[in-house]
Amino acid sequence: MQREFTIACSDEEAPGVMKAAEYLNEQMRQIVENNQALGADRCAIMAALNISHELLVARENIGDDSEVNDRLDKLHDQIDDAMDAIRQVAI
């Protein structure tokens, strides 16, 4: 939004911080495009709420992945058991 800030971070963190700043800037631009009357502070708050919502939804979806991982672990155990049974027959 045509403003620059100095952010203290390590060299390793810099690319991620720049990516986050670009993402925030894009979110704020979209909000301004939809409502020209918003001030910069209110626009930043709206963008932060949108990004927070995206994060929470993503975290919920990651929680669903834990169920998938549990199922994969069980399938892996079943495969191991089947392979052990095959090895016993082959001996």
**Rounded to the nearest 5 degrees, what angle is found at the Cα of 88, between the Cα atoms of 82 and 89?**
95
Each residue's pLDDT tens digit, 8-22? 989 999 999 999 999
- Nearest 5°: phi and psi at 85? -65, -40
Q: Is residue 54 part of a domain?
A: yes
Domain enclosing residue 82, as ranges: 14-90
pLDDT tens, 29-72? 999 888 877 788 888 898 999 999 999 888 887 766 677 778 88
Reported pTM: 0.62
Q: Is the pLDDT of residue 91 over 70?
A: no
b (16+ CB within 10 A) / e for 52-75: eeeeeeeeeeeeeeeeeeeeeeee
- Residue 17: CB partners within 8 Å, gap ≥ 6? 7, 9
6 belongs to a structural domain: no
Identify whether 48 is part of a domain. yes
Query: What is the count of structural domains for the chain?
Result: 1
